[in-house]
Amino acid sequence: MGSRIRNDFEHIDHRTCVSICDAIGERLQQRMRPENELSPRLQQLVEELRRQDNELALIPCGR
């Protein structure tokens, strides 16, 4: 017997989506804290990701 993949996703509103993303981000930050200082280049890349995340936060989820 083959397994079936369900495609009937429930849609969530934007506020709920943002809350879930924020909670996941916070937990990842807590668990993945660097033990040492980041190199200047890596720090620059992290800052660029933060800027891009902030820009994406203005776009509703699901688009």
In angstroms, rounded to a whole number, what is the distance separating the alpha carbons of residues 60 and 35? 34
B/e letters for 8-47, b = 16+ CB within 10 Å, e = fewer, are eeeeeeeeeeeeeeeeeeeeeeeeeeeeeeeeeeeeeeee
| pLDDT tens digit sequence for 8-55 | 667 888 899 999 999 999 998 888 876 667 889 989 999 999 998 888
For residues 62 and 17, the answer to whether their CB atoms sit within 8 Å is yes
Q: What is the pLDDT of residue 7?
A: 62
Residue whose tokens read 């849609």: 11
